[in-house]
Structure 1
Amino acid sequence: MDWDEYALWGGKIADWGAAYHKTLRDRPVRAQTAPGEIAAQLPSAPPNGAEGLDAVMADFETIVMPGMTHWQHPRFFAYFAANASPPSMLAEQLVNTVAAQCMLWQTSPAATEVEGVMVDWLRQALDLPSEYTGVIQDSASSATLSAVLTMRERATGYTGNRDGLSDKGALRVYCSDQVHSSIDRAAWVAGIGQDNLVKIPTHGPRFAVDVAALEAAIAADIKAGHTPAGIIAITGGTGVGASDDLGAVLAVAKAHDLYTHLDAAWAGSAMICPEFHADFWDGVAGYDSIVFNPHKWLGAQFDCSIQFLLDPQPQLNTLKIEPEYLKTSGDAVTNYSEWTIPLGRRFRALKIWFLIRCYGLDGLRARIRNHVLWAGELCEAIRQMEGFEITSEPILSLFSFRCPGSDDDQQRLVDALNDDGRIYLTQGAFEGRKVIRFQVGQFDCTRDDVMLARDVIADVWEKIQ
């Protein structure tokens, strides 16, 4: 392909993309294909000769698209949305075209310096103290792993990387029983181990970690000769939106000199709205590490996760490795590859810059406020359905419910809804029962999209009786 053909097809694909988004409401949200159906349509061996892009695009339409779940569909109510606003998509086109590997300042100074400013713009938007700096990670999983590795190294006097962990004893990390599975995985990968990830019960209307039980667990571990290493708090947990009392958890951590990480991957975006701070953000100042995902609720195309750091040095002490070929001569600069696990880095800051400039914080706040309002309205509508039960009240734009019947009936309804195609939901587990989870967060959804879900749920439920 030469550059003239590239320009021709670039225009065609942009037109295809605009048409795709304009017609998303006409498509089923979840892919309707059976396992293996897509792979069966692909040749078993690669071609030896070149093929024209017209043939490739034709196969893309007929083979690939039927097997895609449409995450940008305005009636995507499963998981948490991975939004892609038009400005962030255009920024990604530029990033893909320039195709820079932005691991060091010198490998693309603009990427490094725009990243620093964008992290600070978001720090201001979330009303974090000026002491915080940070880095753009690919996902909250990577940020959490970075924080857990830092907990490990700090607790071992930064000797774990050098010596290994065989003689370090039991390093303990504490969290609530509502944390995301990425916290478990971080404990695995960091060598902490599942048995040393101490999960504390939750209570209250926001399912906050029991701080007295947290304090007791730490005291018991110290008495047993274990080494407490850190605490992970949550704001807006994935299951039902569980949110800890951040100030109380931080006080326990400070009393024991423990490193702290706050997982606000989803709900952190809503903190650009000051009215949510009292319930979800008070006490945040002082956490050593905080992560939130602009690629969820703010509209920055996946992947884009911000890790704020009160002091970056402990994480640098944990992750920085500097062979001769990566050293930068001259004036002191920031090399963000030293702040993260991967060496290679994409220019993720550009899409944040485009996004915030094109919508402004007020435009982004309006979307989030609408989503919270509409989720509450839908929750009340489902509450009025005969035999249906709200199992967790709305926390921001997330709630859960049950239809009449057993756990098997919950799964039967979820499967039928997703096969129907008009909306997409997922099941969850809460207080020992299967529930149906509903979250509003797709960037372009409307109130009509959200409220239609009530009619679809009622219609499908009637059909499967």
Structure 2
Amino acid sequence: MPLPTSRPTPSGGSGPDLPTATDSGTGVGAGSTGVGPSHMSPGEFRRCGHAVVDWIADYWQDLPSRPVTPPVTPGQVADRLPAQAPETGEDFGTLLQDLDTLILPGMAHWQHPGFLGFFPMTTSGPAVLAQMLTAGLNAQGMAWATNPAATELEQRVMDWLADLMALPDRFTRGGVIQDTASSAMLVALTAALWRRAGEQWRNHGSGPGYTVYTSTEANCSVHKAVRLSGLGDLQLRRIPVESHTQALRPDLLRQAVEADLSAGLTPVAAIATIGTTSTTAIDPLPAVADICRSHDVWLHVDGAYAGVAAICPELRWINDGLEHADSYSVNTHKWLLTGFECSPMWFADPAAVTQAMTVTQSYLREVTGDPRQAPDYRDWQIPLGRPFRALKLWFTLRWYGADGLRAHLRRGVELARIFADLVRGDDRFEVVAPSPFGLVCFRLRADCSVNAQLLKRLNAGGDILLSSTDVNGRFTLRMAAGGTATTADHIAHAWSRIRAEADRLTGTGHRSG
């Protein structure tokens, strides 16, 4: 299907006039004197910036009228782009027009209210505006000396968030913002290896003797972290889960750890999950922590999706056992309106990660400080450089306040409850896993092939997007509420579409259970 070529008419007006190549006193990037390029002037930037804000506002406003996913085939977008970069600069109006005509028609719209297939990737006005400010400042926050305000703001907002989530006191002053939970996973595993083997690990590598434990339902980032750490696939132990809750079985974890110890191996780390990707299962942290403490195994808890739910007092039961964790990570860019990428992480003892990660060259001497006074966050992460991520979290926390954030989280939980009740009210369907947060896993009481066909038909319509997983070996559909713009009306529409497609597939109408 060809991409549309006309620019959609924005509902919010045309916005300010944009500078072009003929604007007096300005260029569009090309340097005609040989001295250097003609940069965007402050006046140009102001006019173009207004146009960008108008564009984003119009985009958000018009999203419900767009298809959730694009009707394109691989290579279709690339084929419409020039093979080489331009030799001379182009005006900003042309760039925005090409964004509309070449890029937007090939986008999957994660902010669409009908985007229900994956965990939400939420953003908000204050987060986007803070991201613009971050880009304008373009500060390097690798060390306190390179950006004191960025470092100290990050310390403070991480303590704010820990307090809002009622995290254990042991995480106070132990927070850092990673890019994603995948990076947090690798950093935690690196710290675990250091704590267990110190210089021996640093000098001789991971070797075949160290082992890592997680459930069969853990995120794939665990597997990737084990590979990248040098341990290898054979060192990862995948512990089976309980069939109803889909949570890790601690009895089998204990058996695996003790078997490895008997074989002369060294258990290093265990990864438990609060809200698994497949079904939002919650591993039994107290029991897992007890096993880890018994054998000096580092416990990292992955709360990427669901961890922020603890901001709501009625959901703080998910924190049970966190008081024994060595590290914990969540993604505020998933459910907490902060925009990608922003993954807060806490350490009970930051010394383990800084001792494992610190590498200081001569050119860093002048920006290396005393960690007892202020952290150099380059030693808490994989890259050397780091952006000013704390600014958008600061803006989001202050704009919404705790009450606003709780209202957003509670709406996601309520929308999931509404949807689950609708599913249970039709005896052709079943809910196949607990749904304490914003995700509902459900299926037709039919063969896996029929459920797969149902999902294909639903997603082909363009108005909603669902996804799938396997639960106890059965093809299962996933509906994830919690998007910034998703309301009860969108959930009702999704259920209407699901029932209609089920009618066509099964030849039966709605039947009350």
Shorter-chain TM-score category? over 0.9
How far the C-alpha of 1:383 sits from its partner, in A, is 2.5
Residue of 215, 222, 225 corresponding to 1:186: 225
Say which structure, 1 or 2, has more relative contact order (CA 8 Å, 6+ apart): 1
What's 1:339 paired with? 380
Q: Is the 8 A contact 2:308 2:336 kept in 1?
A: yes
Q: Is the 8 A contact 1:80 1:296 kept in 2?
A: yes
Question: Which letter does structure 2 place at the counterpart of 1:267?
Answer: A
Distance 1:237 1:206 in 2: 11
Q: Sort the Cα spacing of 1:286 and 1:59 in 2 relative to 1 into closer, same or farther, 3 A.
A: same
Q: Sort the Cα spacing of 1:463 and 1:211 in 2 relative to 1 into closer, same or farther, 3 A.
A: same
What's 2:181 paired with? 140
Residue of 295, 301, 319 corresponding to 1:281: 319
Residue of 7, 32, 42 corresponding to 1:3: 42
How far the C-alpha of 1:200 sits from its partner, in A, is 1.0
Query: TM-score, length-normalised on structure 2?
Result: 0.87
Question: Which letter does structure 2 place at the counterpart of 1:425?
Answer: L
Q: Is the 8 A contact 1:136 1:307 kept in 2?
A: yes
Structure 1 position 378 matched with structure 2 position 419:
yes
Structure 1 position 366 matched with structure 2 position 404:
no
Q: Is the 8 A contact 2:467 2:479 kept in 1?
A: yes
Question: Which letter does structure 2 place at the counterpart of 1:8?
Answer: R
Residue of 104, 112, 127 corresponding to 1:88: 127
Distance 1:52 1:409 in 2: 52
Distance 2:246 2:225 in 1: 22
Q: Sort the Cα spacing of 1:330 and 1:348 in 2 relative to 1 into closer, same or farther, 3 A.
A: closer
Paired residue secondary structure (1:453): helix
Cα-Cα RMSD = 1.6
Q: Sort the Cα spacing of 1:314 and 1:156 in 2 relative to 1 into closer, same or farther, 3 A.
A: same
What's 2:347 paired with? 309
Question: Which letter does structure 2 place at the counterpart of 1:368?
Answer: L
Q: Sort the Cα spacing of 1:386 and 1:33 in 2 relative to 1 into closer, same or farther, 3 A.
A: farther
Distance 1:239 1:129 in 2: 27
Structure 1 position 177 matched with structure 2 position 227:
no
Distance 1:381 1:106 in 2: 56
Within 5 A, what are the aligned runs for 1:17-28? 17-28=56-67
Distance 1:187 1:199 in 2: 12
Structure 1 position 130 matched with structure 2 position 165:
no
Residue of 390, 412, 415 corresponding to 1:349: 390
Question: Which letter does structure 2 place at the counterpart of 1:17?
Answer: I
Distance 1:240 1:173 in 2: 22
What's 2:18 paired with? none
Percentage of pairs with the same residue: 36
Give deviations 1:386-431, integer Å, cap 9, x for gaps.
5222222313111211125332322222222222111111111111
Question: Which letter does structure 2 place at the counterpart of 1:316?
Answer: T
What's 1:297 paired with? 335
Structure 1 position 41 matched with structure 2 position 77:
no
Within 5 A, what are the aligned runs for 1:52-71? 52-71=91-110
Q: Sort the Cα spacing of 1:189 and 1:377 in 2 relative to 1 into closer, same or farther, 3 A.
A: same
Distance 2:431 2:375 in 1: 49
Paired residue secondary structure (1:399): strand
Q: Is the 8 A contact 1:206 1:241 kept in 2?
A: no
Distance 1:299 1:90 in 2: 12
Q: Is the 8 A contact 2:154 2:177 kept in 1?
A: yes
- The more displaced of 74-83 and 397-406 is 397-406
Distance 2:191 2:219 in 1: 19
Q: Is the 8 A contact 1:155 1:228 kept in 2?
A: no
What's 2:8 paired with? none
Question: Which letter does structure 1 place at the counterpart of 2:140?
Answer: Q
Q: Is the 8 A contact 1:410 1:427 kept in 2?
A: no
Q: Which runs of 5+ in 1 are unaligned?
A: none
Q: Is the 8 A contact 1:77 1:423 kept in 2?
A: yes
Question: Which letter does structure 1 place at the counterpart of 2:260?
Answer: D
Paired residue secondary structure (2:279): coil
What's 1:399 paired with? 440
Residue of 449, 463, 478 corresponding to 1:422: 463
Residue of 496, 502, 505 corresponding to 1:455: 496
Paired residue secondary structure (1:393): coil
Question: Which letter does structure 2 place at the counterpart of 1:84?
Answer: T
Distance 1:330 1:364 in 2: 35
How far the C-alpha of 1:330 sits from its partner, in A, is 7.0
Give deviations 1:341-398, integer Å, cap 9, x for gaps.
1111010101111111111111111111121122111112122335222222313111
- The more displaced of 260-269 and 27-36 is 27-36
Structure 1 position 12 matched with structure 2 position 51:
yes
Distance 1:439 1:4 in 2: 43
Q: Sort the Cα spacing of 1:194 and 1:329 in 2 relative to 1 into closer, same or farther, 3 A.
A: closer
How far the C-alpha of 1:443 sits from its partner, in A, is 1.9
Question: Which letter does structure 2 place at the counterpart of 1:350?
Answer: L
Paired residue secondary structure (1:240): coil
How far the C-alpha of 1:217 sits from its partner, in A, is 0.8
What's 1:198 paired with? 237
Structure 1 position 152 matched with structure 2 position 155:
no
Q: Is the 8 A contact 2:143 2:368 kept in 1?
A: no
How far the C-alpha of 1:463 sits from its partner, in A, is 4.7
Structure 1 position 409 matched with structure 2 position 450:
yes
Give deviations 1:250-305, integer Å, cap 9, x for gaps.
11100111111000000101011121122x22111120000001111111010000
What's 2:246 paired with? 207
- The more displaced of 304-313 and 197-206 is 197-206
Distance 2:432 2:384 in 1: 44
Distance 2:129 2:417 in 1: 33
Paired residue secondary structure (1:63): helix
